[in-house]
Amino acid sequence: MLIFDAMKRFALLLALLGFLSCGRQETVELSLDEKLALTHAQSRFSSPGVPRLGIPELWWSDGPNGVRAEALWDSWAQAGWTSDSCTAYPALTCLAATWDESLAGEMGICLAEEALYRGKDVLLGPGVNIMRLPTSGRNFEYMGEDPFLAGKMAAAYIRGVQSKGVAASVKHFALNNQEKARARVDVHVDERALHEIYLPAFKRAVQEGGAWTVMAAYNRIWDSHCSENSRLLTDILRDDWGFDGVVVSDWGAVHSTAAAAAGLDVEMGTSTDGLRDNPLATDYNAFHFAAPYKEKILSGEIPADVLETQVERILRLHGRTTLSPGRGRGRFVCPEHAALARKVGEEGIVLLENRGGLLPLDAARTLDILVVGENAVKKMAVGGGSSSLKAKYEITPLEGIKAAFPLSRVRYERGYVGDPGEVYWGVSSGQDLTDPRTPGRLVEDAVAAAAGADVIIFVGGLNKSKNQDREGRDRLSYTLPYDQDTVVEALVGTGVPLVYVNVSGNPAALPWHGRAGAVVQAWYLGSEAGTALGAVLSGRVNPSGKLPFSWPSALEDTPFYGNERTYPGILREDGRIMDVYYDEGIFVGYRWYDHAGVAPLYPFGHGLSYTTFAWTDLRTSVRRGRLRVSLSLENTGDRAGKETVQVYVGAPAAGEGASYERPLQELKAFRKVSLGPGESQRVHVEIPLPELGCYDSAQDRFVTVHGTYVVRVGASSRDIRLEKQIEL
């Protein structure tokens, strides 16, 4: 049967290639209605094929970190299947925190295998929108603040997904950097910031990752919706970058048939903003690319060539996915996928502080461990928006800690009540976390339980409830919700050593951080959350994660504080459109903190280890259009560990032989290295010289400035171990 199916797909593919080889005659066998049908949805998550010619439907699935549960044909409501519980992988902020391209590729492969098993053809991810705001609700789905890191990790993820014949859909193109009023925002950004900060990750996803689909965002740019912005979808994406795939709309992001001529190929989710149902959303013939589009083609208002081009791209996508002869069957919720989810979590957890070497806790000793905090028992796979998952299982932090310390007495206290339960679009976490105690009593009980404890592990942070880490909403405050600071302050006051574990996809204010013994950033870790956390706390795994974003002490340190022009925007007189001005230009994330002379609480790239490393003998050379950098890295501790070599380059500043204002430094290369105790390795990286350039708006191109550059190599953007000047 498998051989027969492969032969059948191969025959269909040959026919399809025959269509594509005939130029504009490739769709001669399709009727106008069949062509139009290919360009818009037929259900919430599928678009039609051409049954008469054996071209199957395309099935799309949310899934940046897992394949989403089945929805009803015309609704966001769940279909009620019992066979659609997936492996929940860590959120993409955690994946980015691994700084490991090979691991990103492995995660892509596993996601594709689960998608294949479920009959999905396009996986809607990864998201690479730059973390501009530390309070944006969807940051947990993205890969941080730096375009180089995000682009490299995304490209590897995409190659992994597509190696299995499943298309990745890089999103949200472009400048979808806030969730508040996302469908009404009109972004005003200068050309340098656009090309140096907000587009490069997408460009790498297309050119290095080979993405087969790109998703157009909700927002506007240059007073034009992204879905109908010809400069974005045609001039930049196709003409400049050479993209030959399909552009699909975000669900409900199409506003007119003009989107077709602008470069959009497939319209999904019209009459819904992606979060709410609308009766019109089930009338697929009312979509802009259906009856209205047909009328304009028949009248000659839209040239028939526009539709022909769309169909050509869609058929090419079928050739890469549904009709690919080498496409397998996939596998679902298997031990290998669980192991990979656990590994990504272990590699992505970041040790932010470790005063007095409090961590790791000795699993061979009998300890009295008090675990406090709702996030220790709350399952996080459900909720947050389109990335919400129906996980087959989810090991909580409390369960993982108990398993990691089998000889110890592990007790639990709630400490605070945040979100007692979560049901999202019909999927339930299966938990009822209601607690009748008052907030004051919860704190008192936690403090009383601390008596006699050897260590307190407080597991707090954010969750995926409204106005926290959640699609469609930004956070309203930078402080920890549910008055967690009061609980932590009270526990610190007991004198018992405290480990604070922050579960989130975003930073938050930690006013007591200097009095906590250790601070750990644990992200949303998916099915193996507790196991990964327990492994790091016990030292079975040496932490090696690095922050993919800067962690400010307070919002006052950011360029957006108290400035509605930069966020959330200024409402126009029409009461609909919000104009948001990216006045900070290229100074985003660590570039801003370096430029403003402000120290973040934890810098970009920061992450501690249970061992130590020595950095020596930095060498640089320029050969054949590449900057070559090498150094010696030695593990000088008594534990095996991994360190990420981060290479930053500072370009000539304006006034020093250059005419462009430049950041102090920018990440240009990284390499994660594994070393045993006492082991050393020569680490080599190469940087193409064009990567050192900046965008010249007047010339509409990148230029490389001659002068003195500084190569800085270190463990974070603020922990530079070696540096050297070079002349270019």
Class of residue 632 by CB neighbours under 10 A (exposed 0-12, middle 13-18, buried 19+)? middle
Question: Which secondary structure element, helix H or strand E, spans residue 725, and what is its range?
Answer: strand 719-727
Report which of 561, 541, 542 is spatially closest to residue 553, judged by C-alpha positions: 561
Active-site annotation holds for 250:
yes
Q: Return d(Cα 189, Cα 181) in angstroms, integer.
A: 17
Query: Is 582 within 8 Å of 566 (Cβ atoms)?
Result: yes
In order, the DSSP letters of 214-228 are EEEPSSEETTEEGGG
Q: Return d(Cα 231, Cα 235) in angstroms, integer.
A: 5
Pairing of strands 518-521, 570-571: unpaired
Q: Return d(Cα 317, Cα 615) in angstroms, integer.
A: 47
SS3 content of the chain, % helix, strand, coil (to 5): 30, 25, 45
Pairing of strands 185-188, 578-581: parallel
Measured in whole angstroms, the distance separating CA 226 from the mean position of its chain's CA atoms is: 20
Q: Residue 274: how many CA atoms within 13 Å on its side-chain side?
A: 23
Sequence-separated (6 or more) residues with CB below 8 Å from residue 200: 147, 148, 151
Query: Is 72 within 8 Å of 78 (Cβ atoms)?
Result: yes
Helix axes 101-117, 335-348, angle to 10 degrees: 150
Q: Return d(Cα 704, Cα 690) in angstroms, integer.
A: 6
Q: Return d(Cα 60, Cα 66) in angstroms, integer.
A: 13
In order, the DSSP letters of 110-160 are HHHHHHHHTT-SEEE--B------TT-TTGGGS--S-HHHHHHHHHHHHHH
Query: Is 311 within 8 Å of 30 (Cβ atoms)?
Result: yes
Cα–Cα distances in angstroms (integers) from residue 194 to residues 63, 83, 93, 175, in the given order: 27, 43, 22, 8
Compute how many other C-beta atoms are within 10 angstroms of the C-beta atom of residue 494: 17
Cis peptide before 490 (omega within 30 of 0): no
Active-site hit among 84, 121, 250, 265:
250
Report which of 107, 157, 527 is spatially closest to residue 333, judged by C-alpha positions: 527
- Can you give 509-569 as a three-state secondary structure string? CCCCHHHCCEEEECCCCHHHHHHHHHHHHHCCCCCCCCCCCCECCCHHHCCCCCCCCCCCC
Residue type, 727: E
Token pair recorded at residue 135: 């309070």
Catalytically annotated residues? 250
